[in-house]
């Protein structure tokens, strides 16, 4: 009887002793190691007029991939680890977006549905500079932006944003069109009766006091940038002096990509004295990605479509 009582006690003490020595870090839920995150689309591009590459952040299940381009099945879809190659039935046309819908799953069955717009790759883009703009427009002198062509090329797909890709209030996507060095292109961002200019998608107007313009090579995610400009009234106190988180983040984005030299409002062009006819003008093609490249012209000296006036506003 005595031995019958001692044996369970000894076993219990051994179990308690083992439990006390067990590290909390080793006590984990076995299910916590299971992957439950769907794949993420990292990049996409048209490498030719009929071939598109999609890159994801992890290997995919070959049998899970389904695609539709402009409501049609592609000619073929192939998967190599995290890359999907799509051969289209019809060629992409320069300057014209085509919708693509798809579904993919990783090797554990986590799935992702997505929708995006494909753009033909422009192999011969020109170089451009934002050369003149106004942000306090009227019906006769609307908000508008002038681009200066500095080398010959095809404009197809080049995109001018009021903001940046994914966070913009308006934009203009150029069609298939050749331009020569020295040409001046004018895009109107608000409704007006003035001139025969190109019109932005929404005619939403530009931000009067604090804002940015970005020129990108295409409307695709993370497209290479061609030029940018930032303006501010230098009196706003919130969000680094820009008044909104979106704008502050856009300026930071430009600084990271070496398209602007300051993330602070003090480093932007001072918008205080600009008007509908006193435009922001680039100073003879200077391009240091800073406010030093710019001045405000004298009243009624805005010169959209031609060489910038050298008459400067004196406060």
Q: Is residue 205 part of a domain?
A: yes
Rounded mean pLDDT of the chain?
A: 90
- pLDDT tens sequence across 247-271: 999 999 999 999 999 999 999 999 9
5 domain-assigned: no
Q: Residue 8 falls within a domain, yes or no?
A: no
CA distance 234 to 209: 9
- Whether 84 and 168 map to the same domain: the answer is no
pLDDT over 90 at 222, yes or no = no
Q: List 231's β-bridge partners, or say none.
A: 211, 269
Same domain, 64 and 172: no
Please check whether residues 139 and 282 belong to one and the same domain. yes
In-domain check, residue 35: no
The pLDDT value recorded for residue 193 is 66
- Number of structural domains found in the chain: 2
Max CA pair span of the chain: 112
Q: Is residue 270 part of a domain?
A: yes
Which pLDDT value is given to residue 191?
86
- 108 φ/ψ angles, rounded to the nearest 5 degrees: -100, 5
The predicted model gives 77-99 an average pLDDT of 95
- Look at residue 29 and tell me if it is in a domain: no
Residue 308 forms part of a structural domain: no
Structure confidence at residue 195 as a pLDDT band (50, 70, 90): low
pLDDT band per the 50, 70, 90 thresholds, residue 194: low
Find the CATH number of the domain harbouring 235: 2.60.40.1260
Phi, psi of 48 (to 5 degrees): -155, -175
Residues 138 and 196 in one domain: yes
pLDDT tens per residue across span 170-181: 999 999 999 999
Q: Do residues 141 and 276 both lie within one domain?
A: yes
Percent above pLDDT 90 for the chain: 82
Evaluate whether 147 touches 184 at the Cβ level (below 8 Å): yes
- 267-302 burial, b for 16+ CB within 10 Å, e for fewer? bbbbbeebbbbbbbbbeeeeeebbbebbbbbbeebb
Q: Please tell me whether residues 280 and 247 are part of one structural domain.
A: yes
Domain boundaries, position 104: 41-118
């Amino acid at each position: 009887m005595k031995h019958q009582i001692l044996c369970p006690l000894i076993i219990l003490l051994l179990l308690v002793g083992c439990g006390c020595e067990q590290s909390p870090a080793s006590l984990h839920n076995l299910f916590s190691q299971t992957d439950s995150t769907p794949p993420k689309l990292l990049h996409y591009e048209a490498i030719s007029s009929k071939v598109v590459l999609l890159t994801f952040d992890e290997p995919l299940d070959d049998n899970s991939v389904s695609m539709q381009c402009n409501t049609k099945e592609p000619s073929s879809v192939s998967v190599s680890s995290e890359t999907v190659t799509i051969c289209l039935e019809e060629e992409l046309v320069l300057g014209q977006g085509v919708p693509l819908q798809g579904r993919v799953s990783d090797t554990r069955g986590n799935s992702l549905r997505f929708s995006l717009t494909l753009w033909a790759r422009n192999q011969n883009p020109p170089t451009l500079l934002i050369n003149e703009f106004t942000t306090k427009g009227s019906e006769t002198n609307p908000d508008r932006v002038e681009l200066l062509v500095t080398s010959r090329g095809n404009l197809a797909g080049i995109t001018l944003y009021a903001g940046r890709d994914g966070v913009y209030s308006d934009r203009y996507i150029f069609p298939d069109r050749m331009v020569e060095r020295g040409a001046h292109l004018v895009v109107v961002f608000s409704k007006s009766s003035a001139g025969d200019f190109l019109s932005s998608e929404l005619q939403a107007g530009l931000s009067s006091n604090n804002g940015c313009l970005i020129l990108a090579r295409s409307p695709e995610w993370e497209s290479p940038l061609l030029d940018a400009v930032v303006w501010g009234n230098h009196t706003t106190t919130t969000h680094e002096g820009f008044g909104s988180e979106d704008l502050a983040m856009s300026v930071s984005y430009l600084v990271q990509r070496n398209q602007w030299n300051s993330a602070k409002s003090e480093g932007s062009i001072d918008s205080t004295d600009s008007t509908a006819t006193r435009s922001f003008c680039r100073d003879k093609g200077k391009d240091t990605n800073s406010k030093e490249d710019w001045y405000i012209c004298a009243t009624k000296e805005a010169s959209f479509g031609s060489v910038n006036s050298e008459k400067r506003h004196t406060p």
